């Protein structure tokens, strides 16, 4: 079976409910943040990003909130679907070419039908 | 966004042997990265590979153990040398490319990974 996410914190939600996944980042100098979704057997998939000059950004069914004061990032998924079941990682970096991404620990989202 | 493929997708290897993982991108990119994802863990950067220069390794990773080639702007290889069971991981290739905001955004995309088991 797939080994990714076995030991990660798990969020279990009912299909149709909203999900909120939280992340604390480490570097106060980071100015670019990304949420990735990693499904079983696949590499991380880009979901949404946000720059430090914003505190909210919306995509299709997803919203990212950034609180620079407490170095906190959240991903909100509206009307969660079974296909949203995956491991979600936040990542931070300095928004210049070639700077490394630093990944958070990840959260496993399980959607109950 | 860049499309990335990796070979092999998975392998089971004996300790003491070496495995070379290939990463192919469908467009020319300057920055390529190699990550390791151990079972149940997040991603850790191994090294950054730019075409025409030596790879830059992160703390805890050395060239003798993880030699990297970057012969052109669409291809890279990572070799896991003298493998031990502790090297069992998913190895991921990643590239940096301009994102939806154009030349002022630097999004990073990942390949599907190579699942390595060392026995």
pLDDT tens track for B81-94: 999 999 999 999 99
- Multiple choice CATH, A10-112, 3.40.50.300, 3.40.640.10, 1.10.3720.10, 2.60.40.10: 2.60.40.10
Query: Is the peptide bond preceding residue A103 cis, with omega within 30 degrees of 0?
Result: no
* Domain extent listing, chain A: 10-112
Q: How many domains, in total, are found in chain B?
A: 1
Nearest-Cα residue of chain B relative to residue A104: B42
Q: Which domain holds residue B109?
A: 4-118
Q: What is the DSSP letter of A83?
A: G
Average pLDDT, chain B: 91
Q: Assign residue B111 the CATH number of its domain.
A: 2.60.40.10
Q: Which residue has the higher pLDDT, B96 or B55?
A: B55
Interval B5-10 mean pLDDT: 98
Provide the pLDDT for residue A97.
Answer: 54
pLDDT at A26: 83
Query: Which of B41, B44, B82, B90 is CA-nearest to residue B63?
Result: B82
Q: For residues A112 and A33, give the distance between their C-alpha atoms in angstroms, rounded to a whole number.
A: 29
Nearest to B112 among A4, A43, A100 (CB): A43
Question: Which residues, including other chains, have CB under 8 Å from residue A61's CB and lie 6 or more apart?
Answer: A77, A78, A79
Residues of A in contact with B108 (CB under 8 A): 34, 46, 91, 93, 101
Residues forming beta bridges with residue A89, ordered by sequence position: A36
Residues in chain A with pLDDT values less than 70: 1-7, 95-98
Contacts of B74 (CB under 8 A, 6+ apart): B24, B25, B26, B27, B28, B29
Distance separating alpha carbons of residues A22 and A88, to the nearest angstrom: 10
Contact (CB<8Å) A43/B107: no
Q: What pLDDT does residue A7 have? A: 63
Of A33-37, A85-89, B68-72, B97-101, the poorest mean pLDDT is in: B97-101
Q: Which helix (DSSP H) or strand (DSSP E) does residue A50 occupy?
A: strand A45-51
* Contact residues on chain A for B31, CB-CB shorter than 8 A: 97-98
Q: Looking at the predicted structure, is the pLDDT value of residue B11 above 90?
A: yes
Residues of chain A positioned with their CB less than 8 A from the CB of B1: 46
Number of neighbouring beta carbons within 10 Å of residue B65: 16
CB B86 within 8 A of CB B79: no
> Would you call B31 and A98 a contact, using CB atoms and an 8 Å cutoff?
yes
Tens digits of residue pLDDT in A57-88: 999 999 999 999 999 999 999 999 999 999 99
Percent of chain B with pLDDT over 90: 76
Task: Tell me how close the Cα of A7 comes to any Cα of chain B, in angstroms.
Answer: 5
Tokens of A29: 């100098």
The tokens of B76 are what?
Answer: 């890279």
Residue B24 has pLDDT above 70, yes or no: yes
Strand A62-67 to A56-58 pairing: antiparallel
Q: What is the reported pLDDT for B98? A: 66
Task: Decide if B113 contacts B90 (C-beta within 8 A).
Answer: yes
Percent of chain B with pLDDT over 70: 92
Q: Binning pLDDT at 50, 70 and 90, where does residue B2 land? A: confident
CB contact under 8 A, A3 and B113: no
Q: Please, what sign has the CA dihedral across residues B49, B50, B51, B57?
A: negative
């Amino acid at each position: 079976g797939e080994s990714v996410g076995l030991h990660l914190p798990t969020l279990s939600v009912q299909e149709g409910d909203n999900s909120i996944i939280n992340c604390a980042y480490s570097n106060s100098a980071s100015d670019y943040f990304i949420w990735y979704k990693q499904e079983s057997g696949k590499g991380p998939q880009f979901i949404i990003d946000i720059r430090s000059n914003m505190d909210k950004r919306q995509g299709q069914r997803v919203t990212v909130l950034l609180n620079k004061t407490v170095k906190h990032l959240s991903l909100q998924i509206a009307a969660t679907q079974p296909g949203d079941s995956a491991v979600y990682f936040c990542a931070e970096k300095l928004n210049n070419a070639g700077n490394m991404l630093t990944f958070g620990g990840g959260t496993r989202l399980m959607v109950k039908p | 966004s860049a499309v990335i493929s990796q070979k092999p997708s998975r392998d089971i290897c004996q300790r003491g042997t070496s495995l070379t993982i290939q990463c192919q991108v469908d467009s020319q990119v300057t920055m390529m990265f190699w990550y390791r994802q151990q079972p149940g863990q997040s991603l850790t950067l191994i090294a950054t590979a730019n075409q025409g220069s030596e790879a830059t390794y992160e703390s805890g990773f050395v060239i003798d153990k993880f030699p990297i080639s970057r012969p052109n702007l669409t291809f890279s290889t990572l070799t896991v040398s003298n493998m031990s069971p502790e090297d069992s991981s998913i190895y991921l290739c990643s590239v940096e490319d301009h994102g939806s905001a154009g030349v002022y955004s630097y999004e990073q995309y990942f390949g599907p990974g190579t699942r390595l088991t060392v026995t």
